[in-house]
Structure 1
Amino acid sequence: MKDTPLTLCLTKGFSLVEMAMVLAIITLLLGGLLPTLSTKMESQHINETRKQLDEIQQALIGFAIINGRLPCPAYSTGEEDPVGGGVCNHPYDGVVPAATLGLQTTDNNGFAVDSWGIRIRYAVTSWSKTTSPLFSNVFTTSNGISTVGISNLSPNLLVCSSSIASGFSGSGCGANNALTSSPGVPVVIYSTGKNGGVGGAGLDEQANTDGNRVFVSHTPTPDFDDLVVWLSPNILYNRMVMAGKLP
């Protein structure tokens, strides 16, 4: 029988059965690699975002040293709202004022974004001194921190380990649930994570975006992937003392 081009190809190269086996092996290998690659990429996103949050903390400290106050959160633009500080229009539900801080990682509208391209949230204490001498919005008013003095300062943002703990509310963590020392912290910065664009369904994620001064942070779960950091008041005060901005 005379060989045809097809029989010559199958004789000299792979048979159809062999080709099918090779393709099956490649499919299995790719199937095993894809989850690993996905996990690696997700870890990279998390690490890059944590680095951004740390850089924002340092930028906030630098701003406080120069201006004697913390900036208000941004809302409709990349600038703090209002410009110049004082009474912040969105103290608990705003975003990082990238333009005010001179940050570079921004979206097309000038907002600071995480490695998923989602705007990074920023909350600042609106604590006011209510005993004589009175002083409103101490931490966001020019020279308010130095005027009131370290011993009288009482920032009141709270970070809790769970939103379903007994006693948790929009004004407190409840018993044995606080991650921050009493009375609280001046700043909370957080990324809403991979699902931030669509919003998380978990109660702990919802607690971070409900517009009050109480936030939640814990290790990732299927319902929680927010990355939350806060600025210790002691670190802020020490850096301002070292810079000669506080006695």
Structure 2
Amino acid sequence: MRVHNTGNHTKMNQKGFSLIELSLALIIIGLLATPFLYQYNTYTNRRVKEQTSLSQMTIARAVSDFVDANGRYPCPTPYTRDEDATDHGREFCPPAIPVPGTCNGGICRATGRDANAAGGPDPVLIGAVPYASLNIPYEMALDGWKRKITYAVSERMANGSITPFDDTQGAISIVESDGDNLAPNAIVGSQPYLLVSHGDNGAGAYSTSGVLVAPCPAAVNGRERENCDNDADFETPGLDATGAGLRTLVAGAQYSDDVVYYDVSGLNGLWSYSAINNEDIRNNNLGYVGVGTPDPMVEFDVGGDIKAGTTHTIRYCDANGANCFTPDIIAGAGISCDGTSTEAMPGIANNAALCDLALPPGIITGPPCPNNQLANAVIGGQLQCVPYP
């Protein structure tokens, strides 16, 4: 006996996307995502560069504070120190090892110019930023790619052997990509220190764990190699007409993605520490110095007001250089009349104290002014009192 199923059959439509439809969908998604990916990549690159610049400026300020407090530059910390090392980020001023031209223990010693004219090259130490000795966060010792920033310093300026401190004794040479030598104080190769971020590819940089990210390029990549070959010569991309850095990311001998920071204030050579007192500075400019004015007319010309707790000067004059008086007129023993009670000094005029006879007895009949007030007139024998200004 045959049994027939008389129930209804439902036909299921399981049709999916065809390859053509899927391809069109991917193309549309790609077209929509391309602008977003471009903007995201631009944003990421900008953030990396901004962080690198922030780190280098933070380090530079900390180095300046260190010099002010210690009378020398800090030594570098070893490249190869891991984050868990007890001396991580501490400066290390090495003894005789490594010898010039070699590296040892994460610090390299290069040979720079003969800064002290002693008949031999002065050494340069190269390592990582000693953030702990500079009292800055560890993150500020890293560039935007989270790699250690290279710190090179003239060794004699870091080991305290220069007394009194002289900021012209640097032994590091910086050359722009166009061949110009950046010479502070008009002395070639006299940069005290500099900072290098090894850029996008990290050639010559060390990771946070103290491992080399990528080896220093071969000699054919001259510009890229100059900042990681552990000598005392460095190269900065320089600036174009708009002030932008001339970074070149095209493979070859001209490739340069490094970000080099050097102390601009040291390069202008306008000021240096006094050889007599290390807390004083002197002006090295042969011409005039202007503050707030592009055209100074005297040795130190300030276009505006100066706020200072103390000043040392021989005389004070008006804007025309006339009507001068000496400081003792208004300070010290000079601010007096005859030294008796018969005269009072209501002011200063004609380069001298202005003295008037004191009031005869009986002119003032009223009470004195209360505390925190002063008299500015007498009317009918009564003092007219006003609050202190």
Q: Does TM-score exceed 0.5, indicating one fold?
A: yes
Supply the distance in 2 between the matched residues of 1:105 and 1:78 (Cα, whole angstroms): 8
1:99 match: 132
Offset, 1:199:
4.1
Count the aligned residue pairs. 209
Supply the distance in 2 between the matched residues of 1:82 and 1:4 (Cα, whole angstroms): 85
Give the alignment of 1:47-196 within 5 angstroms: 47-75=50-78, 76=81, 77-82=88-93, 90=109, 91-106=124-139, 112-126=141-155, 137=156, 139-142=157-160, 144=162, 147=164, 149=166, 153-162=168-177, 177-181=180-184, 182-183=186-187, 184-196=190-202
Offset, 1:211:
1.6
In structure 2, runs of 5+ residues without a counterpart are 1-8, 82-87, 99-106, 110-123, 203-212, 238-245, 250-254, 282-389
Tell me which amino acid in the other structure corresponds to 2:152.
Answer: A
Which one of the candidate residues 13, 30, 42 is aligned to 1:6?
13
2:101 match: none
Output the aligned Cα RMSD: 3.6
1:133 match: none
Which one of the candidate residues 219, 229, 233 is aligned to 1:214?
233
Offset, 1:149:
4.8
Tell me which amino acid in the other structure corresponds to 2:158.
Answer: T
Residues 92, 211 of structure 1: 8 Å contact kept: no
Supply the distance in 2 between the matched residues of 1:156 and 1:206 (Cα, whole angstroms): 19
Supply the distance in 1 between the matched residues of 2:165 and 2:71 (Cα, whole angstroms): 12
Residues 73, 80 of structure 1: 8 Å contact kept: yes
Larger relative CO (CA 8 A, sep 6+): 1 or 2? 1
Which one of the candidate residues 238, 242, 263 is aligned to 1:231?
263
Structure 1, residues 23-79: CA drift from partner, whole Å, max 9, x if none? Answer: 320122224432332232112101110111011000000100111110011114421
Supply the distance in 2 between the matched residues of 1:122 and 1:95 (Cα, whole angstroms): 5
2:43 match: 40
Tell me which amino acid in the other structure corresponds to 2:199.
Answer: G
Structure number with bigger Rg: 2
Tell me which amino acid in the other structure corresponds to 1:154.
Answer: Q
Supply the distance in 2 between the matched residues of 1:80 and 1:52 (Cα, whole angstroms): 18
Structure 1, residues 71-104: CA drift from partner, whole Å, max 9, x if none? Answer: 0111144211128xxx997434211111111221
Q: Percent identity?
A: 24
Secondary structure of 1:69's counterpart equals coil
Q: Which has the higher helix share?
A: 1
